[in-house]
Amino acid sequence: MTQRIMYGEVALIVAVCINSFAVVLMLYSGAGISAISSVPYAFSEVLPKLSLGTWTYIFQGLLVLTLMILRKKFVPQYLCSFIVGFFFGKLLDVHEMWINILPTAIEYRILYFIISYVLICIGIALSNRCGLPIVPTDLFPRELSQIIKKKYSIVKISFDVICLLTTACMTGFFLGHIKGLGIGTILAAFTMGKGIAIAGQIIDKYMIFVTYLSRKK
């Protein structure tokens, strides 16, 4: 099967756009927010003076700092990742501004969850292959799996579960009830690592990724 070349720059832009939309769509479905955005969501509910997008890139900054501590060195690419994360956070706020125009009947909400789940899997798979600095919430499990030498899907699932537990504790303690988590969130947390792997395998059958600068050399 002939593989098509896709520029990593294009893959990264597509990944950021579809993942920011998918995160907001999953929350709008009522099935719960995605695990990677659950901690910023909890902060935005507990401390609502800052938006979900703002809390998202604050959280991402902490993830980047954690990776540098684990690497025991300054990694310039991680700062580029934070810049990508900044735009991701801004897109979250943009999508939150218009998402309420979508219908809210139960059959639509089920469809929203399915679409958002698939899009997040595809988006993260693209991010992992683009060869460029990616959103810190996607970067963190990928880099951590290399640092501790564990399988990516295992690290990804563990990271998601920790995010969910943090969200449950924060909202439960400060709001008096658990907010933002639903059956869809739990399902995604325990299966998305595998879903990303499957999406990646399918993508690899049809595409190879090069960055524009590397191809010009």
Question: Residues in the chain with pLDDT < 50?
Answer: none
Report the candidate in 34, 14, 15, 16 with the shortest Cα–Cα distance to residue 24.
34
pLDDT at 193: 82
Amino acid residing at 33: I
The answer to whether 99 touches 24, Cβ cutoff 8 Å, is: yes
- CA 169, 194, 129: angle at the middle one, nearest 5? 105
pLDDT at 28: 93
pLDDT at 216: 57
